[in-house]
Amino acid sequence: MGLGEMLREVTATRYVEPLRSGGSVPGVVEADDLGTYVVKFTGSAQGRKALVAEVVVGELARALGLRFPELVLVHFDPGIAAHEPHQEVRDLLDASAGINLGMDYLPGAKDFTPEVAQTFRVDPLEAGRIVWLDALTANVDRTVHSSNLVIWPTSGTVPPRLWLIDHGAALVFHHRWDASDPAKVYDLRHHALGPCAPDVRAADAELAPKVTRELLHEVLAQVPDDWLTGEPGFATPEAARSAYVDHLAARVQASPVWLPTDFPSRRELAAEEAQRAARIRAGRPDWLKQVPDLHGKPAARQDWSVHLG
């Protein structure tokens, strides 16, 4: 999608399966354009705000030259998923009739984990651009434990590249507009790309001038009215869009205040994790002290290379 163009609309024709990689339980869906998409549903516990964040951060990332899968608006009829055996998933789908958000499926994509990071080199400027975008959009959910980054493609002659996914937890300020501070500093010390020596200052010099009010208006125009209707404090969807534009434009101007530059090395992260695990063990009763700590490791996420037969 080019700048200024609206998100394409497709109709889901086949519900393949749910992805149990997070609380939102997205699903793999085939559509009438012959494409396959990872769909996030309006009926999820995170609600429509998560979809707003996906569109705003994803389209802003694309406008700034970062790799992000195409987003589409997916017309979804729960009847195509009548075969889904799990009641909780069916309830989610039944509550999601209408327009939902699809992300282009990247077959075979692999998570960017700390282990992968040791062998996959990320350019410091590219790392800086991603960290800068996350700081701008208050995305605190791209950590060493859950990167929301994937490597794709993983086969063929095209070299693998780093792709951004999953921004539903970003824009934390839109959950409490009355307490939103455009200059707020968010803790990104444990950002997934912190160990890659991100050149955030160079990224700020390059990207801040590009995030104009005009660009922000074009990005917010991609958000369907229905996802903004009824937003507390705003009489119309346009009023809500203007609030997003005003906040993000002010935040760009405040970048010297919130610019993250302090990132621990992999060695320091490992030491912090060891200390954290030791504190947990110390607080356990004797009979539990020999049980390994499983919470310090990233939860297994479902590979995007699901069986689509």
Read off the pLDDT of residues 223-282 as tens digits, 9 standing for 90 and up: 999 999 998 899 999 999 999 999 999 999 999 999 999 998 888 888 888 888 888 888
Domain coordinates in residue numbering, the chain: 8-104, 110-258
CB under 8 Å to 128, separation ≥6 — which residues? 198, 199, 200, 201, 202, 203
Read off the pLDDT of residues 107-154 as tens digits, 9 standing for 90 and up: 999 999 999 999 999 999 999 999 999 999 999 999 988 999 999 999
Token pair for 228: 């903004």
Read off the pLDDT of residues 9-20 as tens digits, 9 standing for 90 and up: 999 999 999 998
pTM of the model: 0.89
Distance between CA atoms of 187 and 123, rounded to whole angstroms? 22
